[in-house]
A and B are shown apart, each in its own frame.
Chain A
Amino acid sequence: MAIEWNRRRFISAAATVVGAAAMAPALSACSGSPAPQTGANTEPGLRAALPAYLPNTAIRPEIPSVAGGPDVLTDAGFLTYPANPVATVAGVPGRGGSYTAVTPLWGTVPSAGNSFYQAMNKALGVDLAMKPADGNNYNTIIPTMTAAKRLPDWIQLPAWWNPNFNLGGLAGTQLADLTPYLAGDKIKKYPNLAAIPTAAWRTGIWGDKLYGIPGFATGLPLAGIVYYRRDILDAKGITADQVRSADDYLNLGKELTDAKRGVWAFDDVWTYLSPAWGVPFRWKVDNGKLVHKYEMPEFLEALDWHYRLATAGYVHPDALAGDNANASPRFYAGKTLIQGGGAGNGAWNVADHESGTAATPGYRRGAFNIIAADGKSNPQLFLTNSTSELSYLNSNLKPEQIEELLAVANYLAAPYGSAEYTMVNFGVEGVHHTRVNGVPTPTDDGKKNVQAQTYPFLASPPQVISNPGADVVTKDNAAWQAANAKAVYKPVFWNMNVALSQALATAEAAQAVEDTIKDCYHGKKKVSDVQAAIAGWKSGGGDRLKQWMTDNVLQKYGTGQ
């Protein structure tokens, strides 16, 4: 649960554009020095570097994926685990090489050389020393390695921490160029890697060269959606279909809030509901001109609505006091009935179901459909990056070593339900897991050593929806995805990597504006205060950022859509 929460929660924060100056002497944006490398890709360069896509059909899901448009695909749903997992990799991928790997881990670090690591090394045919590092401090641990130029052979660098890692600078200096091994049809040597959707590979490409191996890729990456307590709202006769506009939400706030009984309709929803006003992730192109969301009247309208929601008393006071850590307990206990949360498996999973039913028997999480605020326009929600987890190989590796590790990655990326997937995620049957009602269930050994996920952070198959023991979650989630896949759109600069100088990255983070926005949707600052903060941001670097993005990215590389 902790793993899921952290990993997915941050997807919403993951930036499409990444920061910090490119390469050697950092260039300050206003010094008049030559422009730093942008890291962005040209159309032909991108096409040449991208691997081919060959979907895997070895294992059929009960609930197949539904296409929502080009590059948009819902996650496949599984209600049962294959009884006899098929093998997708012939023989042993490795040739006995010795390597080290570093991955983030939210939980207790398994002991080195434990039975699972040993079994994995045997299955992989390499001596792969796993060195998981604390996920909460990962963004401060890694820069010490990159500064000392002492990266391990294989490392996971989550995309949401790009500004800290300066990936634009690392690509080509410390990270290996995988283009010669994976571009185009060359990936067919690694069929499981070839089954990762093309859009996810785009996030691993810097300056027309492929560096990153995407993990946990999804065809429907969303910043998050608006959830509700389906068991409670069903009992009141309220269904998701009835909520079609911002006004409907406000009415729900009035109807559901009962402060005397300690029940408030809403927890924080700003991040998840504001796109309904047409607010993009960050940029929009209007008549060929780049527009930042701060400059859009729709943005201020959305903010004003959230300010009214808070001041009307429909939001839980603890949420207004900034206590996010207890948002889930509030939701489970029925103190709040509507909350925002990560999409996909982020909040909607078996762990959530278990926690919820433990607090309230009959607990059921539901999600409102994507809407347009006015209730008349087309409902819309932007896609986020197709993956936020990428692993990289060290540039010091020899070509045959890179090939050996890519073969290992191919094993790790085996599809859900395959023999390799079972090994990577559940370990050896009888030692790390046993089958209970057909579902691989971890033993104590498995809980300690396998469930603390390490290998999937190096490579993993595309996401699926699977919640053994809670079929209702799988069905609800898959149904929501199928119903909403058509309402998503590709935002400007989607899956595009851009390296920014520190000054521009600071302007992009816009901490002062974001702080004021939070104060506003918590009902403490007026929209006019946010407008003042935006004016300060524009003159203090925002306008320069827009100009730079227009000149160096939009005009040279297009929108990436």
Chain B
Amino acid sequence: MSTAVPRRAAAPSRRNWRFRLRRDRSLLLMTLPAVVLLIVFNYVPLSGLVTAFQEYDPLVGVRYSEWVGLDQFSRLFTDPLFWGSLKNTLYLSFVQLILFFPIPIALALLLNTVLSERLRNFIQSVVYLPHFFSWVLAVTIFQQMLGGAGALNQFLRGHDLGTWDVMTDPGTFALLVTSQAIWKEAGWGIIVFLAALAAINTEQYEAAAVDGAGRFRRMWHITLPGLRGVIMLMLVLRLGNALTVGFEQFLIQRDAVGHDAADVLDTFSFYYGIATGNYSYGAAAGLFKSVISLLLIWGANRLAHAFGEDGLYRK
């Protein structure tokens, strides 16, 4: 971001380009390691996508594997399990967007109203903490608390109150995983909003207070407009990642609720591709996901621009 050139730069000419290169060379040098990393680990492996059009055999390698064109895709598009996992992915994404997305914003606003710095730091640490747990641990904690033999159900059983099968019920799985995600990630998600809040000029609040604006009006007319750019950016990113709802979380709980409810595109690629040595099929599913994601992020970005926001970059 910081290396972005001023918007109204002069028409690109050779001299100008050289001048800018010389002027920004230390910044460019500093970004070089990251760029190399990106090329080596993100762009070069893209060439592996070619296996989606092959019957890839690790023994003979990419060069000598048989070329099958779009066979993997035609198989994919007639596979009910694939459509099932796509449906699950979109549904979970939708549920998370509605239930999960507003929570870090609300948390950030709430935290912002806490005046005592010590209390605020304490609350912040407590809500951050679960982010550093692995999904294995997070799911284990849920299982120990809410599982069939967990604390809650043993208590209910002990008092003859029946049991509550929340960890293994496919019907409420979307709510379960969303609440797990909120518990684990909402605290971490507030960081970016807190940073945006810190960037709002406090004089605006003072001026508004002098004009007689109450707490709610200040939030509505100053805080939220100040956050709008960041919220939009996060929304664009979220929509672009609509087909990525997590992997470990579903992998771990797949047996608990059954594959029909728990398979998302990523676990589909794993179980029906990699796990059975069917690499090309998994690659085809992955490529499909990437293409759709690219379209989604492009569309969301266009939408942001249409609303006059920056989106991923300034137009």
Chain A's closest residue to B279 (CB) is A502
Measured between C-beta atoms, what is the minimum distance from A329 to chain B in Å? Answer: 12
B154 and A262: CB pair below 8 A? yes
Would you list which residues of chain A between 468 and 518 have a CB under 8 Å from chain B? 502-503, 505-506, 509, 511-512, 515-516, 518
B59 and A169: CB pair below 8 A? yes
| Contact partners of A522 in chain B: CB under 8 A | 168, 255, 258
Measured between C-beta atoms, what is the minimum distance from A257 to chain B in Å? Answer: 12
Partner of B58, one of A24, A143, A262: A143
B229 interface contact, C-beta 8 A: no
The stretch of A40-48, A82-90, A318-326 in contact with B is A318-326
Chain B's closest residue to A161 (CB) is B277
Partner of A24, one of B64, B68, B255, B275: B64
B277 and A164: CB pair below 8 A? yes
| Contact partners of A55 in chain B: CB under 8 A | none
| Contact partners of A318 in chain B: CB under 8 A | 143, 147-149
| Contact partners of B81 in chain A: CB under 8 A | 512
| Contact partners of A108 in chain B: CB under 8 A | none
* Number of A residues, CB within 8 Å of B: 44
Given A146-B58, A147-B58, A524-B168, is A320 in contact with B148 using a C-beta cutoff of 8 Å?
A: yes
Would you list which residues of chain B between 262 and 301 have a CB under 8 Å from chain A? 271-272, 275-278, 280-281
| Contact partners of B185 in chain A: CB under 8 A | none
Measured between C-beta atoms, what is the minimum distance from B77 to chain A in Å? Answer: 14
B33 interface contact, C-beta 8 A: no
A321 and B148: CB pair below 8 A? yes
Given A317-B147, A502-B277, A515-B271, is A28 in contact with B68 using a C-beta cutoff of 8 Å?
A: yes
B230 interface contact, C-beta 8 A: no
B253 interface contact, C-beta 8 A: yes
B59 and A143: CB pair below 8 A? yes
Measured between C-beta atoms, what is the minimum distance from B222 to chain A in Å? Answer: 48
Would you list which residues of chain B between 137 and 195 have a CB under 8 Å from chain A? 143, 147-149, 153-154, 157-158, 167-168, 170
Given A166-B57, A323-B143, is A515 in contact with B277 using a C-beta cutoff of 8 Å?
A: no
B277 and A519: CB pair below 8 A? no
Measured between C-beta atoms, what is the minimum distance from B217 to chain A in Å? Answer: 49
**Bound: A556/B125 CA distance, A:** 69
A260 interface contact, C-beta 8 A: yes
| Contact partners of A431 in chain B: CB under 8 A | none
B149 and A316: CB pair below 8 A? yes
Partner of B60, one of A24, A28, A259, A335: A24
A20 and B59: CB pair below 8 A? yes
Q: Which residues of B contact A (CB under 8 A)?
A: 55, 57-61, 64-66, 68, 71, 80-81, 143, 147-149, 153-154, 157-158, 167-168, 170, 253-260, 271-272, 275-278, 280-281
The 8 A-B pairs with the shortest beta carbon distances in the complex, nearest first, are A317-B148, A322-B255, A143-B58, A321-B256, A519-B258, A509-B276, A515-B259, A166-B59
Q: Which residues of A contact B (CB under 8 A)?
A: 19-21, 24-28, 143-144, 146-147, 163-164, 166, 169-170, 259-260, 262, 264, 316-318, 320-323, 335, 502-503, 505-506, 509, 511-512, 515-516, 518-519, 522, 524-525, 536
